[in-house]
Structures are given as structure tokens and as C-alpha cells.
Amino acid sequence: MLNLDYNLNSMRKKIVAGNWKMNKTAEEAVALVKELSSILATEFKGDSTILVCVPFPYLTTMKELVKDTSISVGAQNCSQFDWGAYTGETSAPMLASIKIDHVILGHSERRQYFGEDGKTIAAKVDAALKYGITPLFCCGEQLEVREAGKHFDLVRQQVAEGLFHLNAESIQKVVIAYEPVWAIGTGKTASAAQAQEMHALIRQQLAGQYGKAVADAIKILYGGSVKADNAAELFSCADVDGGLVGGASLKAREFAEIVKAAR
Ligand code: PEP
């Protein structure tokens, strides 16, 4: 019998995005990308989008380095403002001016350590979209929220606050990353069943707001201790369209194996 879920999943091209966070010197960054691109040049046969989201100072160098490879370069944040007296900030038009086309927004570390709330993240999503940059919009619950059985409510609230001001055309330009906070950098991965359950819920919520066709077109990545040995199982879930990978993206071989697991 035709498996419709599988077919829809396979229509959405997968994305594997590395989030380097605040790691690597310039020299180490160059070495990592060179090693990754040389492994992928010989071993990667798929058509997934491969992204490395690197610290701001390395964006231009990395763009140049990956020019003729299968890798794209993204940023890890941007301001909600376009220009002006916002010391220390980097704006979406700045990123667009150096041809960066993906940016991570609303990562749990930005929410937790830099006080970013739903309203700010929604404004950042708008800023990125205004300049043709794809937001990788992150959502996910803390351990105590899951233990209290409130994880579905919280994630639904984050998605609604951050994205539901968008119209049906704009929402399709967003990639959602479900990242349970208890799984980020902890080595504790959500099981494939837990990931699929939340991804299906997010897609159902999107369908309720925008209709099924729109919901089926939106990519939802899983993030939280994705490794070479769990990636294939996670990525095979019907509603998991790839991964946002932190720690394991800092090692070329490990990240390459994760990329290869996305089919
Ligand atoms: C992340 O920071 O987005 C992440 C998923 O980290 P890790 O893979 O290290 O858990």
C-alpha cells in the first residue's frame, strides 16, 4: 500500500545544518571546512542542503572557501533592526550584503542567556525574510516543562508567537527546528518517537493555521545531540526533515556522517 507520509517526507529536501556556536579560531574554522568539503566531495551523493552556521567574523572567509562545494554558509543570529545605533549587533541587510541566505533565530541559548522573547524573535524573523534570508526558527521545551507534561503547549505557543503573524506565502520560507532544551549539548537525544510526535504536532498546528498543503511544504528539523549513530533513525521519521547539529558539527568526519545519513 502507498505510504503517503513517507512520500510527503521524501518530497521535502532535507537540510543538515551545523551550529558551531561560539567555537573555533579562524585557523581552526578554515581547517574544519576544508576537511569537511574534501570528505563530502568524494562521499556525499545526496541532494540535501548542507549548511554550516559559523561565528560572524568567519562568514566571508567561509563563503569564499565553500564556493565550489556542496556546502552553504549561514549565520547564528541577526538583529531585529535594519541599521543604526545598536552597538555590537549584526543586521539582516548586512548578512544579505555578503550573500548569507540562512540564519538561526530563537535558539534556546539566545532565549535563555540573552533574554530573547517571542516578540523579539518574531521581529527577527521578519527582518530576515525582508532581506531574503531563510530563518531557521528554533523552538523546544526545557526538561521541567516536559516532566510537567506541558511540552506540547509550550512548543505550540513558541511557534504561534514567533511565526503566526506571517502569511501563507512567507511561512513557507521559514525552516522550523524543534530542539528540546534537555537534549542540547547533553548527549541525551530525544527518541525517534519523541521527535516524530512533536514534529507531527507542529505540522498539525501549521495545517490548522495555514492549511495542509502549506504545512506539508514546511521543513521541520530536529536538534539536540544528533550524532552519526542516531542521525539515520531520527531523519527517517515521517515529519523530520533533517537536523540542526551543534557539538557534532565541530568534527568534520562526524558531521559528514550525519550529512550522509540524511536521504
Ligand atoms: C544546537 O545547539 O542547536 C544543538 C542541537 O546542539 P547539540 O547538537 O550539541 O545538542
Ligand 1, residues 225, 230, 254, 255: which to mutate, most atoms within 8 A of Cβ?
A: 225
Q: How many Cβ atoms are within 10 Å of 92's Cβ, its own excluded?
A: 27
Q: Is the pLDDT of residue 6 over 90?
A: no
* Residues linked to residue 136 through DSSP beta bridges, in sequence order: 104, 175
Q: Which atom of ligand 1 has the smallest separation from the CA of 107? A: 3
- The whole-number pLDDT of residue 263 equals 82
> Does a structural domain hold residue 242?
yes
| Mean pLDDT, rounded, of the chain | 95
Ligand 1 centroid from CA 17, angstroms:
10
Q: How far apart are CA 247 and CA 151, in angstroms?
A: 24
Domain count, the chain: 1
Name residues contacting ligand 1 (CB within 6 A): 19, 179, 184-185, 223-226, 244-248
What average pLDDT does the segment 126-140 reach? 98
> Does a structural domain hold residue 225?
yes
- The whole-number pLDDT of residue 187 equals 86
What average pLDDT does the segment 47-52 reach? 96
> Does a structural domain hold residue 7?
no
Q: How confident is the model at residue 8 (pLDDT cuts 50, 70, 90)?
A: low
φ, ψ of residue 158 in degrees (nearest 5)? -60, -45
> Does a structural domain hold residue 72?
yes
- The whole-number pLDDT of residue 56 equals 98
> Does a structural domain hold residue 21?
yes
Ligand 1 centroid from CA 112, angstroms:
14
- The whole-number pLDDT of residue 25 equals 98
CA-closest residue to ligand 1 atom 2: 246
CA-closest residue to ligand 1 atom 1: 246
For cell 518517537, name the residue: 193
Catalytic annotation present for 179:
yes
> Does a structural domain hold residue 161?
yes
Ligand 1 centroid from CA 224, angstroms:
5
Q: Is the pLDDT of residue 129 over 60?
A: yes
Q: How confident is the model at residue 135 (pLDDT cuts 50, 70, 90)?
A: very high
Residue 66: CATH number of its domain: 3.20.20.70
Could you tell me the residue range of the domain that residue 132 belongs to?
14-261
Lowest-confidence segment of 93-107, 109-123, 179-193 by average pLDDT: 179-193
- The whole-number pLDDT of residue 230 equals 96
Convert the pLDDT of each residue in 188-216 to its tens digit: 889 999 999 999 999 999 999 999 999 99
Q: Is the pLDDT of residue 3 over 90?
A: no
What average pLDDT does the segment 154-183 reach? 98
Outline where DSSP puts E strands in the chain: 15-19, 49-53, 71-74, 102-105, 134-139, 175-178, 220-223, 242-245
17 contact partners, CB below 8 Å, separation of at least 6: 49, 50, 51, 52, 53, 74, 102, 104, 136, 177, 221, 242, 243, 244, 245, 249
DSSP 44: -
> Does a structural domain hold residue 8?
no
Q: How far apart are CA 214 and CA 208, in angstroms?
A: 10
> Does a structural domain hold residue 251?
yes
Identified catalytic residue from 102, 107, 151, 199: 107
Q: Is the pLDDT of residue 9 over 70?
A: no
Identified catalytic residue from 109, 116, 141, 179: 179
Ligand 1 centroid from CA 108, angstroms:
10
- The whole-number pLDDT of residue 1 equals 37
Catalytic annotation present for 107:
yes
